[in-house]
Amino acid sequence: MVYVGPFETKESCQSWKDEYELPFPVISDEDGAIFKQLSNGWVPYTILVGPDGKVQLWESEFDEAGFAAAVEKLYREPAEAQPEPEPAARLAPQPAGRAGAATIVILGGGAGGLVAAYHLRRRFSGKHRIVLVDRSPDHLFQSSLLWHMVGQRRADQIRRPLSDLTRRGIEFINDEVVEIDLANKLVKTHSEKIDFDYLIVSLGAQLVPETVEGFDEMALNLYDPKGAGMINAALESFSGGRVGVLVTSMPFKCPAAPYEAALLVDSFLRKKGVRNKSEIHVYTPEHQPMPVAGPVMGEAITKVLGKRDIRYHPLFTFEKMQPGTHTIIPSGGEPEKVDLLIAVPPHQAPDVVRSSGLIGASGWIPVDKHTLRTEHEGVYAIGDVNSVRLANGKTLPMAGVFAHYEAKVVAEQIATELQGQRSDAAFSGKGYCWLELGGGKAGFAGGNFYNEPEPSVRLYPPMRFWHWGKVLFEKWWLRHWF
């Protein structure tokens, strides 16, 4: 085992090694060259190398069980090499339903599930059964939580009832998925069992603030409608002090959101007339904002933060909260006291997915980067719940735009396959996002994350045009699918 200390001196690495009596080497990486070359752009990051010198696993988001299994695999006696079997022709599953009708079950009514259901129903007027299951009765337009946070939207304005999908011939089951039985092609909820011929898992990332001691007492959840409303109430009564925006761990969805939150808070406090009595700090384990998008994007956002006097704390390895003193504690360095804490809670794959047999060593569902197929016949995973490895070894960010485009590809593949043909639909890795700056302005970035050797992303200058583009997109989204 070897530990590399990014942006640390030889002296600090040796001090850390001595303090914790570590039996393995601790190497200084003062300029961050090793860190930038090998990691996803945040800490901690683990690389598992086998006896043959080949990388077996490189993740920042692995779960303990998955990682332990990967290590255990290295110690097993290698099986005698067997010749590779001839690839079999891929055939559509034989539909179990009426008169050749297939049942396509979609788990999750977020961006990916909504788009997949819509496009599948458009391809088939009524022959095949399309079922969408979600424990929430509503679809939430997640991006608008930032506007809700600063009082520019009400909660009811950014929701739509999923039951409205029945008007399009899509069945909606408002219940929680409790089991995914892959062997028997069966999904179980609290109230019923649903057989499937095809399954699209689009359950997103599960937020687990309860895994952080003191979160409920001290932090307001940026990614939750209730939390966003509480942030707005706190800002309305805020008269000055220190505001912290904290990313507790990696990965997290909507990579720009913590930075947008800081910028919108800045704009809100300026309008309120208390910005000169306030400090705004962003704490994150990333070495730069949105590291997967590349250094140009990161430098541009860092520059915007600096111009607005927002203090940026990269490589902040959060350890715990102390509600009694209202401080956040890093694993190394000094405690940070805040008066108002806006936090991104830890993310993990939903419990039902973790127990399904779909999860890989990363803690998420590994899929083919172009088809979004899992290793299980007829089962796909789209959006935040999947794990897509890029050419540079990093992971495709969690973002609604990718769920949207992945859903269209999967719908096309299933529809074409049910017609007895082979689909060439493939996810291209292209995506975009807005960066809300407050004051009616926004930036815009877009590009190809599958570009080799690195993603190719272009950032456009902030202007009112981009802000109104996001407003129009919100209006279109909340009307189009329903």
Quote the percentage of the chain above a pLDDT of 90.
76
Mean pLDDT of 136-161: 98
434 by DSSP, 3-state: which? strand
Q: Alpha-carbon distance 160 to 90, whole Å?
A: 38
Q: What is the pTM of this model?
A: 0.86
- Band (pLDDT 50/70/90 cuts) for residue 39 is low
Mean pLDDT value of segment 84-94: 47
pLDDT tens profile 160-215: 999 999 999 999 999 999 999 999 999 999 999 999 999 999 999 999 999 999 99
pLDDT for position 77: 47
pLDDT score at 100: 76
Q: Return the ∠ at Cα 154 (arms to 152 and 159), rounded to 5°.
A: 120
DSSP tag of 304: H
The predicted pLDDT at position 6 comes to 72
Question: Scanning the structure block, which residue is given the tokens 């220190």?
Answer: 242
Q: How confident is the model at residue 83 (pLDDT cuts 50, 70, 90)?
A: very low
Q: Say how far apart CA 286 and CA 257 lie, in whole Å.
A: 14
pLDDT band at residue 482 under the 50/70/90 scheme: very high
Catalogue all structural domains in the chain, each as residue range(s) with its CATH number. 1-34 (no CATH), 39-75 (no CATH), 99-205+349-430 (3.50.50.60), 207-348 (3.50.50.60)
* Per-residue confidence (pLDDT) for residue 80, from 0 to 100: 42
Rounded mean pLDDT of the chain?
89
User: How far apart (Å, rounded) are the C-alpha atoms in residues 438 and 263?
Assistant: 6
Q: How many CA atoms lie within 13 A of 90 on its CB side?
A: 13
Which segments of 171-323 are extended strands (E)?
171-174, 177-181, 186-189, 193-195, 198-201, 206-207, 219-221, 241-247, 278-283, 310-313, 318-322
User: Average pLDDT, stretch 277-302?
Assistant: 95
Residue 91 has pLDDT above 60, yes or no: no
User: In DSSP terms, which residues pair with 198 in a beta bridge?
Assistant: 104
Q: Which residue has the higher pLDDT, 87 or 71?
A: 71
Mean pLDDT computed over 60-82: 53
pLDDT greater than 60 at residue 381? yes
Backbone region of residue 94 per phi and psi (left: phi > 0; alpha: psi in -120 to 50; beta: other values):
beta
Q: Which of 49-58, 61-70, 230-239, 447-456 has the lowest mean pLDDT?
A: 61-70
Token representation of residue 28 = 């200084």
- Mean per-residue pLDDT, 5-11: 72
